[in-house]
A and B are shown apart, each in its own frame.
Chain A
Amino acid sequence: MDRNQTHRNRKRALKTLHFIALFATMSVICIPGLWIVLNSFRPTVEIMAKPPIWTPTFTLDHYRAMFSGAGEGGVPVFSYFRNSLIVSVVSTAIAILIGMSGGYAFARYRFKGKAGYFVGLMLFRAVPGVALSLPLFIVFAKVGIIDTHFGLILVYVALNVPFTIWLTDGFFRQIPKELHEAAEIDGCTRWQAFWKVEFPVARSGVASAAIFAFLTSWNEFALASQLTRSVGSKTMPVGLLDFTAEFTINWGGMCALAVLMIVPALILTFIVQKHLIAGLTFGGVKG
């Protein structure tokens, strides 16, 4: 009896510890986001108040100001949103197409220097993006694609392709080669076998690669802040800088714009998440 009791107590204690650890981790992840959302709805006085005010006042002033004219603290939200959307969607689509082809090639074909190429691609990921900003700036300025959607798309495609290759390679590797062989015997060309069989089976992998690529482009700040200047090409993260003046920072406005930035990303992740789970039901071949 006694031993059972101590065993049960220990189990309970472990479970409690488990929850505390989980809670702490989630707090670290979630509190900054929560802080942003809450502050976007609070008057600036309250945000800056010391000691902090614990019972917040609800206000939509920051949102109202953001969407109003240039003289009243407004920023061109719609332009920034459109720029972000164009750049992120196009660069993600291109990166997925290229990355998926690359990942498939690495997973399926044997060619000379395969391992070397793969390591090389991964090394590209190791280079911090900011380190590239100055060379890119100079090259882009010379070529004349600075401050354009095209330039930014090009950069994001280059950033995302290695990771996409790495991720999709893993997914295609999990698909037995007999699937495309069966499809080819069933009358498909190699191309059809890919699109009718292997792609649908790997779509969960492609979807997760797409989310990562999209979020990278959507959230990227360092390079975009160097390579874009005008309302016509600035993305939302760069737009956040509009709220900093020489001596002051409009925290409330910045938080409001940040919320607008987070919402589409959240929605997208939420939609694709279902695909991620649905796509993972393998079982056509004996595991």
Chain B
Amino acid sequence: MTEVNLSKVVKFYGKHRAVHGIDLAIHDGEFVVLVGPSGCGKSTTLRMIAGLEDISDGEVSIGGRVVNDLPPRERNISMVFQNYALYPHMTVRENLGFSLKVAKKEETEIEKAVDEAAGILGLDELMERKPAELSGGQRQRVAMGRAIVRHPDVFLFDEPLSNLDAKLRTQMRVEIKKLHQKVGNTIIYVTHDQVEAMTLADRIVLMQDGYIVQVGTPLELFNAPVNTFVASFIGSPPMNLIDGTVSGTDTIKLAGGLDVPVPAAARGQVTDGQKVQFGFRADNLMPEGHAVQEEGEKANLELTVTLTEPLGTETVLFTDIAGTEVQAKMLNPRPVRPGEVLKFRLMLDKCHVFDANTTEAIRG
């Protein structure tokens, strides 16, 4: 059983506080993704778990053992770095077997473990090459192979796909997920890419400015963001947000003079005159005839399309509500010219309301 527990973990760089006392419990075998914009403290947190950074305050435990003062080698973890960090003077085989050699394992045992890892990652052909002779994707696989050879309790990934081109990234993403299904270890994965976070994670930990903003499954974060930061960070395109004011108890007057009813989830939670941000995803604003047929409260809007982004199965339409640019989606798309006026349906049940001052979600 390898749980990883962070309790009130703080990191200071000089006087600058990079991580503000975070609590996080990661279960055995769980794939947890730390995600957030650069400088949010996700990498620092990972490096504290790895033992590459001192922990200024708080406690980190791996498998029930407090590791604050243990060097990396005694934590039984392995890590994949963004720049791969392969040993340039060793062949792939030597790279893979390095940790076992350091641990003074039997020659035959090393060979068996290395061959097994090479088999899992399809490295058999490359074993006698040096890292300089490998492509980016191959280096990435060797780095992962080096991590799995020693059967660690926890895998740590620090933005492992950032240096790959888009196509390879998608491919390696699948391989990482397969790897997790095969070996079943606890994985902590850091990325700034929300797509990676959504596709890989059992649970996402979204961080901002050294704090954890929200922890949950990808769908929880997508469907019930706790504030506007989460709403605009998770999901592509980001959630549309329009300023508005609550009028009475069941109407929101949007900035440009448009009225929408308060979504069911927020009804009874808002007060007259409260400044809010009204949010909805592009998937919930669709032109008539090109929308998902769903039951529920809808609002009809006539909007002018300003820009289109055809993606094949759908087209993202840029338009304007009350002076704010919003994005909508068109299913089974037909060609649309900029300037064309279309009838849109807004799925009110799927809309969100956020307090304009605290940015927090208003939800029953």
Least Cβ–Cβ distance between B51 and chain A, in angstroms: 8
The size of the chain A interface, using a CB distance under 8 A, is 24
Kindly state whether residue B103 has any CB partner on chain A within 8 Å: yes
B132 touches A286 (CB 8 A): no
Kindly state whether residue A124 has any CB partner on chain B within 8 Å: no
Which residues on the B side are within 8 Å of A284 (C-beta)? 84-89, 131-132
Most chain A beta-carbon contacts within 10 A, residue among B71, B77, B87 = B87
Kindly state whether residue A154 has any CB partner on chain B within 8 Å: no
B88 touches A281 (CB 8 A): yes
Least Cβ–Cβ distance between A70 and chain B, in angstroms: 52
B86 touches A189 (CB 8 A): no
B84 (CB) vs chain A CBs: closest residue: A285
A181 touches B72 (CB 8 A): yes
Kindly state whether residue B261 has any CB partner on chain A within 8 Å: no
A192 touches B130 (CB 8 A): no
Kindly state whether residue B98 has any CB partner on chain A within 8 Å: yes
A181–B73 CA distance with the chains assembled, in angstroms:
10
Least Cβ–Cβ distance between B152 and chain A, in angstroms: 9
A178-B83, A283-B132 known; A186 vs B88 contact (CB < 8 Å): no
The size of the chain B interface, using a CB distance under 8 A, is 31
Kindly state whether residue B148 has any CB partner on chain A within 8 Å: no
B131 touches A185 (CB 8 A): no
A183 touches B87 (CB 8 A): yes
Least Cβ–Cβ distance between B262 and chain A, in angstroms: 51
A181 touches B71 (CB 8 A): no
B132 touches A187 (CB 8 A): no
Kindly state whether residue A120 has any CB partner on chain B within 8 Å: no
Most chain B beta-carbon contacts within 10 A, residue among A200, A282, A284 = A284
Which residues on the B side are within 8 Å of A187 (C-beta)? 73, 99, 102-103, 150
Which residues on the B side are within 8 Å of A186 (C-beta)? 73, 78, 98-99, 102, 146, 150
Most chain B beta-carbon contacts within 10 A, residue among A181, A187, A188, A200 = A187
The 8 Å CB contact of A176, one of B50, B52, B85, B130, is B85
Least Cβ–Cβ distance between A171 and chain B, in angstroms: 13
Kindly state whether residue A201 has any CB partner on chain B within 8 Å: yes
25 A–B contacts, CB within 8 A, in A order: A178-B83, A181-B52, A181-B85, A182-B85, A186-B73, A186-B78, A187-B99, A187-B102, A188-B102, A192-B102, A196-B98, A196-B102, A201-B87, A201-B89, A281-B130, A282-B88, A282-B132, A283-B88, A283-B131, A283-B133, A284-B88, A284-B132, A285-B81, A285-B88, A286-B163
Q: Which are the 10 A-B pairs with shortest beta-carbon distances? A: A283-B132, A284-B88, A178-B85, A186-B99, A284-B86, A285-B83, A182-B85, A187-B102, A284-B131, A187-B73
